[in-house]
Chains A and B, each alone.
Chain A
């Protein structure tokens, strides 16, 4: 069925290193791909998004890349900091009103 696969489920990096999280999606019609960050006990919050007419988008230390042919997109965090520690969810639009989320990646940045 229609879904979003996300890898890895957990990721531990040293402060200052880069972190990469990858997602694949099944619906070739998906055209909007946001990434949400959820800190423990908090609400998911949008950190960056990309649309299907763009291959890459960057916002300071965060970047997202999209390969529509292969149906995968990735989140890149450079110069990681302890406050980047959280669960990150990728998502893809399925139809006009439906957003499907990946299972999440728990990122731990060790000082």
Chain B
């Protein structure tokens, strides 16, 4: 499967613990996005990378959240000191150099479901 892959698919953690999610985009895609999806809602934009540069961050991304894309390929999303309100599906998406929110298709991964107890 050459689509967007995310790991882990499911994570259960206790409040206060740190968690990290990984996203591997489609290899030729230089644009990478993180979204959060809660039950019954559409995906909410968190942050956007073009190559290794983080170009945009939503105000939803509190200082407990940090995302990186060190080599312009895979990306990680870390949540520190998790809270119960962080429980959600974290979706990664990628798009081609000519694609993206204003021009073309976002290819989503299967998501990483976080449950904070």
Q: Which A residues are within 8 Å of any B CB, using their own CB?
A: 4, 6, 9, 31-32, 34, 36, 42-46, 49, 89, 91, 93-104
Cβ B105 vs Cβ A34 within 8 A: yes
Q: Is chain B's binding surface mostly helix, strand, loop or mixed? A: loop
Could you say which of B41, B43, B48 contacts A97, with CB atoms under 8 Å apart? B48
* Chain A contacts for B101, CB-based, 8 A: 32, 93-99
B108 within 8 A of A: yes
Cβ B108 vs Cβ A45 within 8 A: yes
* Chain B contacts for A101, CB-based, 8 A: 42-44
Cβ B40 vs Cβ A43 within 8 A: no
Q: List 11 A-B contacts (CB under 8 A).
A: A4-B42, A32-B103, A42-B110, A46-B106, A91-B42, A95-B101, A96-B101, A97-B33, A97-B101, A102-B42, A104-B42
Cβ A96 vs Cβ B102 within 8 A: yes
How far, in whole Å, are A100 and B42 apart by their CA atoms in the complex?
Answer: 8
B91 within 8 A of A: yes
* Chain A contacts for B42, CB-based, 8 A: 4, 6, 89, 91, 101-104
Knowing A97-B56, A97-B100, A98-B56, the reply to whether A46 touches B105 (Cβ < 8 A) is yes
CB distance from A96 to the nearest CB of B (A): 6
B65 within 8 A of A: no
Closest 6 CB pairs of A and B: A101-B42, A99-B101, A43-B108, A97-B48, A93-B102, A46-B105
CB distance from A108 to the nearest CB of B (A): 15
Cβ B105 vs Cβ A43 within 8 A: no
B25 within 8 A of A: no
Cβ B102 vs Cβ A43 within 8 A: no
Cβ A44 vs Cβ B108 within 8 A: yes
How far, in whole Å, are A94 and B45 apart by their CA atoms in the complex?
Answer: 11
* Chain A contacts for B44, CB-based, 8 A: 101
Cβ B105 vs Cβ A97 within 8 A: no
